[in-house]
């Protein structure tokens, strides 16, 4: 069984934000919510680095550990998903996540949080695959269609890789050998246990 | 002598407020209570895994 992982190659990311746009468009993500965003380190300084960040679908997901209503589950290939019908919008997962992945739409006055929204690795949620209900709640289910996350498929420089962790690691390893230097698999030590 | 003992005792009691436990509470995730995801059964099928591998080979390698 494959183990799905994201990897952003900071040497290749050019901060074009196409991944962010592709994600928002594909899933009709509501205003105020960004399932994916590009973070720039040392912005404006020569040698700045950009990293595309979303839910990393952690091996031992801290969001799932702190959820008081146990609405998180992990698929066999390691994708961390949640049930929006159970979510109470408490915000614990937001504080637990090292990547700031869980987001909350501001649906009403007085700062009341809506249901938590996060990257699904384009795998939808616990409703019938590719149904209208699934699309409305979680976005498109590309995995069920035999496709990979659109953010990675769209990436023009192939900085963002998504798929079977072994295949992703192979590609990245070849790049590091070709360009020299040390591998910097940003976030992998935090998200994935070896 | 008696006053010094009281001051020492009070200082000791006050210093206990400075103690900070460094033990980390590790939470284990509970059992998922939501609806069943039909994708789970689909993912176990070898055809689905093969489809995703072929898709990866098609769209992810360096150009």
- Complex-level ipTM: 0.86
CB crowding B19-47: b at 16 or more within 10 Å, else e: eeeeeeeeeebeebebeebbbbebbeeee
- Tell me, what's the pLDDT at A47? 85
Q: How does the average pLDDT of chain A come out, rounded?
A: 91
pLDDT band at A127 (very low <50, low <70, confident <90, very high): very high
Yes or no, beta carbons of A167 and B56 under 8 Å apart: yes
- Tell which of B32, B44, B54, B58 to mutate to test the A interface (max A CBs under 10 Å): B32
Q: Do A148 and B52 touch (CB under 8 A)?
A: yes
Confidence of residue A194 (pLDDT cuts 50, 70, 90): low
Fold classification of A4-191 is Alpha-Beta Plaits (3.30.70)
Domain range summary for chain A, segments of one domain joined by +: 4-191
Taking any CB pair shorter than 8 Å as contact, residues of chain B touching chain A are: 26-40, 42-44, 48-49, 51-53, 55-56, 59-63
Residues of A in contact with B25 (CB under 8 A): none
One digit per residue, pLDDT tens: chain B, 63 residues? 788 889 998 888 888 777 777 776 667 778 999 999 999 999 889 999 999 999 999 998 886
Give per-residue pLDDT as tens, A9-34: 999 999 999 999 999 999 999 888 99
- Count the Cβ atoms, other than its own, within 10 Å of residue A40: 13
The token pair that represents A10 in the structure block: 């900071």
Inter-chain touch A73–B43, beta carbons under 8 Å: no
In this complex, do B32 and A123 lie within 8 Å of one another by their Cβ atoms? no
Token pair for A101 = 């992945």
Q: How far apart are CA B21 and CA B56, in angstroms?
A: 48
Measured distance CA(A183)–CA(A172) in Å, rounded: 8
* Residue A134 half-sphere exposure toward CB, CA atoms < 13 A: 21
């Amino acid at each position: 069984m494959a183990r799905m992982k994201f990897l952003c190659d900071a040497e290749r990311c050019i901060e074009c934000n196409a991944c962010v746009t592709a994600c928002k468009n594909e899933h009709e993500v509501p205003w105020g919510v960004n399932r994916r965003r590009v973070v720039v380190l040392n912005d404006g300084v020569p040698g700045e680095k950009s990293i595309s960040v979303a839910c990393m679908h952690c091996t031992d997901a801290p969001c799932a550990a702190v959820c008081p209503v146990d609405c998180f589950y992990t698929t066999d290939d390691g994708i961390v998903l949640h049930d929006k019908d159970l979510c109470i919008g408490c915000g614990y997962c937001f504080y637990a996540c090292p990547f700031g992945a869980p987001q909350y739409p501001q649906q009403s006055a007085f700062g009341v949080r809506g249901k938590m929204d996060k990257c699904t690795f384009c795998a939808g949620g616990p409703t019938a695959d590719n149904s209208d209900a699934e699309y409305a709640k979680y976005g498109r289910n590309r995995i069920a269609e035999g496709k990979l996350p659109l953010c990675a498929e769209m990436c023009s420089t192939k900085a963002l890789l998504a798929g079977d962790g072994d295949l992703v690691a192979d590609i990245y390893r070849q790049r590091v050998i070709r360009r020299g230097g040390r591998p910097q698999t940003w976030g992998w030590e935090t998200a994935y246990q070896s | 002598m008696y006053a010094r003992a009281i001051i020492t005792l009070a200082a000791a009691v006050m210093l206990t407020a400075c103690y900070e436990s460094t033990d980390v509470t590790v939470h284990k995730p509970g059992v998922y209570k939501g609806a069943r995801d039909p994708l789970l059964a689909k993912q176990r099928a070898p055809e689905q895994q093969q489809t995703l591998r072929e898709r990866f080979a098609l769209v992810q390698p360096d150009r």
